[in-house]
Chains A and B, each alone.
Chain A
Amino acid sequence: MAVIFPKSSDIILKVLGAVVGLGALAGAAAFTYYTYPTVIDTGYQPVQPVPYSHKLHAGQLGLDCYYCHSTVYKAAFAAVPATSTCMNCHTQVKKDSPRLELVRKSYATGQPVPWVQIHRMPDYVYFNHQAHLAAGVSCVSCHGRIDQMIEVRQEKPLNMGMCLDCHRDPAPNVRPAELVTKLDWVPDRDPRVIGQEIIAAKHLDPPTNCSGCHR
């Protein structure tokens, strides 16, 4: 019987197989890596409909986070402020700025400004701002130095590993409750020691079981 394939085709087939196999593996690895929340979400920086600068407002002007995100102390969600909050100042300051066009329109028509959500928990995660602030966890622990960002981006992965790291060892992230919105706070001694003192005084015992966050 005539030989249809030369002997060398064996090698070609093997090499081809190896390439395809490795390629598939590499593809799977890449897919896994690039769809991992830490990779997708960290650094997410969408363009907002209004070029609002946190660096200017929270950093240079020194507005407290609480001025706009007024529900952080009393609710699970840190609400994005109503347009009327912007207009508290902007009826006086820069009242004709073209960059504030959308804000003025929203205020006049009652239509909301469609801010783009950056920090987002999956719907099976029940994160509570109020509880964390009462414990003395600063905004900066999860959101980073917002007061230095012109356009806000997601600084931390906000994945379950990050939550658990802190819930297992909260001391480095706990500070006096009145300082939680002071993003530039520099502790005068070891922050871990300060944290431990507060944990002891407040009997903090962050949950690490499922229903602490998943309900």
Chain B
Amino acid sequence: MSATTTLINIEQPQLPSAPALQIEGNVTGKKYWRSLNHLAETPEFKDWVKRIFPANINSMMDGNSRRTVLKLMAASFGLAGLTACRRPVEHIMPNSKGSVADEYAPGEAHHYATVMSIGGHVTGLLVETHDGRPTKIEGNPDHIHSLGAATAIQQASILSMYDPDRSAKVLASGKDSSWNAYEAALQTISLGDGSGLRFLSGMVTSPSLVGLRNEALKKFPKAKWVEYETAARENELAGTAMAYGQALYVHPKFDKAKVILSLDDDFLALDSPAPFMTTLFSRGRRVETEEDLEKMNRLYVVESQFSVTGANADHRLRMKGSDVRQFAIDIATTLGAPLGLNVVGNDKNDKRAKFLAAVVKDLKAAGAEALVVAGPRQPASVQALASLINQQLGSAAVSYSKPVMQGSDTGVNALKALAGEMNSGQVSTLVILGINPAYSAPADLQFSVALSKVANSIHLGLEEDETATAAKWHLPEAHYLESWGDQATSEGLASIQQPAIEPLYGGKTAAEVVARLVGNRDLKAHDIVKNYWLGRFGALKGADGEQLWRKALHDGVIAGSQTGETVKVSVDAKKLAVTLVGEPKAVAGDSKSVEVGFYPSSSVWDGRFANNGWLQEAPDPMTKLTWGNAAMVSPAMARSRGLVDGDMVAIMRGNLKLEAAVMIQPGHADDCISISLGYGRKSCGRAGKDVGFNANLIRSSDGFWFAPGFTVTKTGETHRHATTQEHGTLEDEGNNAERQHDRALVRETTTVEYRKNPKLIEDMVEVPELKSIYAEVKYDQGYQWGMAIDLTSCTGCNACVVACQAENNIPVVGKEQVLRGREMHWIRLDRYYSGDENDPTVVEQPLPCMQCENAPCENVCPVQATSHSPEGLNDMAYNRCVGTRYCANNCPFKVRHFNFLNFHREEKEIVGLVYNPDVSVRMRGVMEKCTYCVQRIEEVKISAKVDGRKEIKDGDIKTACQQTCPAEAITFGNINDPNSRVAKLKKQERNYAMLAELDIRPRTTYLAKLRNPNPELGGKA
């Protein structure tokens, strides 16, 4: 790159017009690529590769001219001269009353159990607080939907609580008002028998709110309570109703399944916002012994968008979302169900037919250990078919339970009926609790218009969102971390939602608002919840309610609350066949039109986390897209329609229209578009406003999850996607694809190959006899920290990335800076494709600092800001760093990150409350990187010393990424102790060190990815 270049080239190049590239490797038969640019070896990509910092990275940020900077510099020098000679007076403000003195010590962490609900999925969590400030979320090991892990969204939810853009005041018709004024207004509203009263909430998973719902419907018998979620499990209930005649929750048991078929179910990511499914699935793929190799599960996935689950599949078949139904029918029929429906694709050479035959055979062989799951985006018929197939197979890996909190008006159809009532003037009072239908309702309902026809609309919400501005009254809602409540899982297992801080912005909970409306005797959230549970505890004979309450708070789960009765049911295949035949035939669009599929976003979910910087900046696991969404298309569709990355297209059907930017996703199904919900918010805080494209504009109530018949036309405009997929690519100048392959950064093999030759992984790279030019340092005394990351388990879900950000005070840099390659994540997930661009396989590789024993970064630091500890850590002293960036340039893994700007200083003061006080907050000009959470290491070492313990127990120290990992893929510990888990894992034959041939001796090593392909399908992963 010449020195005169003034701009980094962020334009995406043309896609190669040649037929799909087929590259042959030599040892593993694989060539890995990070993006289509990588596959095509474009000059822009090569520039990313040869530098850690892209060309011209020193240029000032936009809008900050050289003159302003000089002015600021002059000012700060002046101030420095004035203040340096005198020490500023600082105060210590102790408590007045030391009542909590015995419990409380400044700066010490306390943990409280609580619970969080997203889209009907409930997860028990632990909240870490410092000096009364919640600072970190962890999973609750005692909660069955957490098992100690937490997802990226759960980790980041803590930042939403401190969000300075959160709603802080009552609004009346958009103008500032007060709770008293609201109270006065309520007096004038007569609710009568409730014939004009409607409640609208998200899916109710709170037992005490269910109690209030019943109370409200009893007091106002003609009222209705509608529950609507942008993404929830209603199809599951409808499907079991179709199959069994009663709505039931389906509980797949991934730990009991050996052969799993997912019918468009992204249970490892988007379709399970609770972490436990990943944990149970990963445990079935843990390979430590010969025996494990035999027991490893096998996953088949049928889907349209390339999902995290698809990336972890042993075999994946891509098809449009609407084609999954026929696929399920074919499977059930092949297994002998008398459905009397046509079966397609009998051609034996057809890929689909081969796949289907192999799946059926494998499922049959697994019998009780087979499991078929259908995704929540698939219609009731597919859910019913999945139940039928499980029954045909005699699967013991699934159970059903009766819903315990289900309301009578749920789902998009209930919302549609409500909108109809609102339009016809039947609704005089509408109470919207915690959701944002003006944004999230399907476009055909025109919810905002309907809302304007309601005389008294009351909206309770966390932010001044689209609904808040359209409603007559807006009330600020209390965040789940600052208010009392309770939540129960679909099995009925309840937990108390325990606040860790007083409401920051004076918000109230949904229960409090409803309690006021129904004239409940308890009006405070705490009393509502506690008295509800004391009542339920009282039902237990001779129970001491207070004691049970305290135990519930302490444990985070209420023992014995699991009321969802497990039922034994069976499907009548003939009856189901009648229903299926009777279903209206899917309208096939013409050959020019495409199908559009909608997905919750891995970052902002349905838009409720749009103003969360951690989530906006967390790269999507598959697309590596930050700060926005895109219309995802397959490479073949892009080529046939002349589309390249970043092209704006108009997606239209009837009067539904959306303009969105295209992104080409290798492995995507042809002739369809996938788009994430939750973006394009118009009334939102600073981080989420106008970021991405609002997919709700083309979502309709009849095409809620996928809909055919859309036309796609190029508008001629372009958009820049801030994707990190090429950032941090490890190659150096002159290296071609062959070299990268030779280095075998990611290594994978199949169970068959591995059994044949376990040395295979090690032999992928020849490591010559190496001798360091520096004096040899022996690391054989005391603790020697090391890490092993199992690529077989890792699903690439992003939980570690956000957990690290929360633990280590890592700044958010924004879209502009991400485009310049300045994102700061200390652990990143490198996603590698391999194989054909139409059907690639994927390996995800988490990349923290490797803590090299012969660290190349240390030798080049002119001020010794980075140096080695006797315990093998590559220490960073931030206060010593002068920002030469030599270390980053010398790091072979590109894991060092530089603070180009004062990212933290630009934050509002209140956001600073989320900082972990055990880690320095870095400023501009400082290099930073992963330290294996050295603050956690030191904390445990000190407490062992204080307690007089000689040794730290293995597993006592958990790094933030390890602790939250739902897949249990990360193991940390003392490698000097042969009995530690990490030492044992490192002895595995599939353990390898990246770039070991450079003699850098990384302390972080990887366990190669094992796939378990079906030999009948070629046996190749």
Give chain A's interface residues, CB within 8 Å of chain B: 34-35, 40-41, 44, 46, 70-71, 74-77, 79-85, 106-107, 109-117, 120, 122-124, 126, 128, 130-131, 134-135, 203, 205, 207, 209-212, 214-215
Whether B93 lies near A130 (C-beta < 8 A) is no
Whether A116 lies near B90 (C-beta < 8 A) is yes
Whether B931 is near chain A, meaning CB under 8 Å from some CB there, is: yes
A-B contact pairs, 7 of them (CB 8 A): A76-B107, A80-B92, A82-B96, A115-B92, A117-B92, A126-B935, A210-B876
Whether B84 lies near A214 (C-beta < 8 A) is no
Cβ distance A33 to chain B, nearest Cβ, rounded Å: 11
Cβ distance A37 to chain B, nearest Cβ, rounded Å: 10
Q: What 20 additional pairs, Cβ within 8 angstroms, besides A84-B97, A209-B871, A214-B876?
A: A40-B87, A41-B87, A75-B105, A76-B108, A80-B92, A82-B94, A82-B98, A83-B96, A83-B98, A106-B96, A112-B96, A113-B93, A115-B94, A117-B90, A209-B870, A209-B873, A210-B875, A211-B869, A214-B878, A214-B920
| A112-B95 contact, Cβ under 8 Å, with A34-B85, A209-B875 | yes
Whether A211 lies near B931 (C-beta < 8 A) is yes
Residues in B neighbouring A74, C-beta threshold 8 A: 105, 108
Whether A214 lies near B877 (C-beta < 8 A) is yes
Whether B87 lies near A44 (C-beta < 8 A) is yes
Cβ distance A57 to chain B, nearest Cβ, rounded Å: 16
Whether B106 lies near A77 (C-beta < 8 A) is yes
Cβ distance B964 to chain A, nearest Cβ, rounded Å: 19
Whether A214 lies near B942 (C-beta < 8 A) is no
Smallest CB gap from B876: residue in A: A210
Which residues 38-78 in B have Cβ within 8 Å of A in the complex? Answer: none
Residues in A neighbouring B880, C-beta threshold 8 A: 210, 214
Which residues 98-141 in B have Cβ within 8 Å of A in the complex? Answer: 98-99, 101, 105-108
Residues in A neighbouring B934, C-beta threshold 8 A: 211, 215
Interface string of B303-318 (1 = CB under 8 A from A): 0000000000000000
C-alpha spacing A84/B108, complex, angstroms? 21
Whether B550 is near chain A, meaning CB under 8 Å from some CB there, is: no
Smallest CB gap from B90: residue in A: A117
Closest 3 CB pairs of A and B: A82-B98, A75-B105, A209-B869
| A122-B869 contact, Cβ under 8 Å, with A80-B92, A83-B97, A130-B942 | no
Interface string of B871-901 (1 = CB under 8 A from A): 1010111111000000000000000000000
B89's contact among A41, A116, A130, A203, by CB below 8 Å, is which?
Answer: A116
Whether B541 is near chain A, meaning CB under 8 Å from some CB there, is: no
Cβ distance B670 to chain A, nearest Cβ, rounded Å: 51
Whether B7 is near chain A, meaning CB under 8 Å from some CB there, is: no
A211's contact among B89, B101, B875, by CB below 8 Å, is which?
Answer: B875
Whether B91 is near chain A, meaning CB under 8 Å from some CB there, is: yes
A116's contact among B91, B868, B921, by CB below 8 Å, is which?
Answer: B91
Smallest CB gap from A106: residue in B: B96
Whether B997 is near chain A, meaning CB under 8 Å from some CB there, is: no
Residues in B neighbouring A203, C-beta threshold 8 A: 950
Residues in A neighbouring B918, C-beta threshold 8 A: 126, 215
Interface string of B290-328 (1 = CB under 8 A from A): 000000000000000000000000000000000000000
Whether B99 lies near A84 (C-beta < 8 A) is yes
C-alpha spacing A212/B101, complex, angstroms? 28
Residues in A neighbouring B867, C-beta threshold 8 A: 209-210
Smallest CB gap from A34: residue in B: B85
Q: Which of A74, A203, A209, A210 has the most CB of B within 10 A?
A: A210
A135's contact among B871, B921, B945, by CB below 8 Å, is which?
Answer: B945
Whether B92 lies near A215 (C-beta < 8 A) is no
Whether B107 lies near A111 (C-beta < 8 A) is no
Cβ distance A137 to chain B, nearest Cβ, rounded Å: 12
| A134-B946 contact, Cβ under 8 Å, with A35-B85, A124-B879, A215-B934 | yes
Smallest CB gap from B102: residue in A: A70
Smallest CB gap from B89: residue in A: A116
Smallest CB gap from B878: residue in A: A124
Residues in A neighbouring B911, C-beta threshold 8 A: none
Whether B193 is near chain A, meaning CB under 8 Å from some CB there, is: no
